[in-house]
Amino acid sequence: MTFLSILTAVAAAVLLLPLTPLRLNAAYKDGVFTLSGQAGPLTADLLPRKKRAKKPRGRGARRRIEPAVLRMAAECGCRAAGRLLRGARIYALRARYTAGGPDPADAVMAYARAGVAMEGIAAAVECADLRADVDFDAGRSRFEGRIGISARLGTVLAAAFCFGIAFLRRYYQYKREKE
């Protein structure tokens, strides 16, 4: 009987855990980027991190990652992000851009580029609240925005698995060619 209850609990976890909703909220305002996440009933503030006391470093220096490995990670990450975004839903998108600067012509050009970019985003995201303005008296351009994305844990795990497999395959191939 105990075996049956353990088997039922494991089967329920395997079947229901991938259906757990995840939410990610990101915001940028006044030079501060904030990021928070929610998995089911659990919430966590991811950025900005709280200041911690610095640990004294040991004798060994920090290892640098080779540029080729970073390039591989970026390529694999873009593919995984595309897979993730196909299974995700943007439920809130708000952006405010005010073009400004010492040269009025540069401010107008920045305003035009932002407007074109926002038109493309608005066509793809139905809940987008986007606005671009120009302020000739402002000393510099300003931006503030907020985005909310939701996905299922299974979608996130599938994207992470695809990233891991693709990256490891290319990394080991790179190591073999290097030797």
Sequence-ordered list of residues with C-beta below 8 angstroms from that of 145, at least 6 positions apart, any chain: 27, 28, 29, 93, 94, 95, 96
pLDDT at 61 over 60: no
Residue among 79, 122, 81, 92 at smallest CA distance from 23: 92
pLDDT at residue 50 in the model: 75
pLDDT at 53 over 90: no
Per cent of the chain over pLDDT 90 is 43
pLDDT at residue 55 in the model: 66
Provide the whole-model pTM: 0.70
| Residues of the domain holding 173 | 21-33+67-178
pLDDT tens for 64-98 read: 788 888 888 888 888 888 888 888 998 999 999 99
Between residues 135 and 63, the one the model is more confident about: 135
pLDDT at residue 169 in the model: 93
Residue 74's SS3 state is helix
pLDDT at 106 over 70: yes
| Total domains present in the chain | 1
What band does 36 get if pLDDT is binned at 50, 70 and 90? Answer: very high
pLDDT tens for 131-168 read: 999 999 988 899 999 999 999 988 888 888 989 999 99
Residue among 25, 156, 153 at smallest CA distance from 91: 25
Q: Is 11 domain-assigned? A: no
pLDDT at 11 over 60: yes
DSSP state of 87: S
Q: Is 29 domain-assigned? A: yes
Q: Is 62 domain-assigned? A: no
Q: Is 152 domain-assigned? A: yes
Q: Is 105 domain-assigned? A: yes
Q: Is 57 domain-assigned? A: no
Take residue 167 and report the two structure tokens written for it: 């990256």
Q: Is 8 domain-assigned? A: no
pLDDT at residue 27 in the model: 93
Q: Is 39 domain-assigned? A: no
